[in-house]
Structure 1
Amino acid sequence: MLLIVFFIALLAAAGLVIDGGAKLRAARQASAVAEEAARAGAGEIDRSRAYAHGGQFVIDRQAATNAARSYLAHSGNAGTVSVIGTQTIRVTVTISQPTMLLPAIGIDQIHVTKTATADLIQGVTAPGR
């Protein structure tokens, strides 16, 4: 009986190490995908506003959303995209992966959600300029 309890505890500990590492990798991946998708969207400026009436640089909402969603689709991940104001885009990515050892204690999948924002910045600023 003690051997069975010890085996289950050992299996759970190994599962936490192996599947915990998988969760950390998934978190890194979700973060990287969210950041890159946000950058892709923030690069889409409204050209008509940029070249007219004093050159105001703002995000083209539709193009930015499409660019970020396209990046997500090509990466094989699902997520949400929203444009905040005129110069910020936010992307949230959720990655789900099956576990290897933790199903023995009832944990079949791990889920990781990460959010990133990117801002459209124009010009060069430096201290003293």
Structure 2
Amino acid sequence: MTPAFIERRTRRVIHHATGRHREAGQVTAFVVAGIAAAWLGAGIVVDGGLAMATASRAHDVAQEAARAGAQSLDVDRLRRGHAVRLRDAEAAAAARHYLARSEFQGAVRVNAGPGTVTVTVDHRQRTQVLRLIGLTELTGRTQATAGARPATEAP
């Protein structure tokens, strides 16, 4: 055995023993990518769940505000035997008042023809996890309509 052969063999043994070879760093990149994917998945679950809960609350508020407005009946007209009719200004004011007491913003529309109150609510949810990738809030819009009809009328 020549000294050059022994030197090459010694370097190879040391090289493998210390873990310094061509694939160094590839596992690290895989781990970083895996953690990033898991973080994104967690962000979708957490922030998506919060956004869905906010959307549900917004829809509840829209329904309740529409029902509050639909209770503003023209009682005198109804007692005289006429068709059910809403007092437009009172219905809009009642729905707006209910909406103003909530955490949401929106619009109220009263349709005198069929006697309905439609409330549209905009909702926003600030993100908790996804803000790290630049998505700071999730927004949406929901709408609910309520109306008045005689108790003897079919739904």
With the length of structure 1 as denominator, give the TM-score of the two structures: 0.88
Is 2:56 the counterpart of 1:56?
A: no
Amino acid at match of 1:82: R
Identity %: 36
Task: Tell me how many residue pairs correspond in the alignment.
Answer: 125
Matched, 1:78 2:129: no
Larger radius of gyration: 2
Tell me the C-alpha RMSD between the 2 structures: 1.6
Q: Secondary structure at the match of 1:75?
A: coil
Unaligned runs of 5+ in 1: none
- The match for 1:37 among 65, 69, 81 is 65
Q: Which has the higher contact order (CA 8 A, sep 6+)?
A: 1
Alignment of structure 1 residues 1-129 onto 2, 5 Å: 1-52=29-80, 54-86=81-113, 87-125=115-153
**Unpaired segments ≥5 residues, structure 2:** 1-28
2:105 and 2:122 in contact (8 A); partners too: yes
Q: For residue 61 of structure 2, what is the amino acid of its counterpart?
A: V
Alpha-carbon deviations, 1:93-128, whole Å to 9, x = none? Answer: 1111111000111110011211000011113246xx
Partners of 1:62 and 1:100 lie apart in 2 by 41
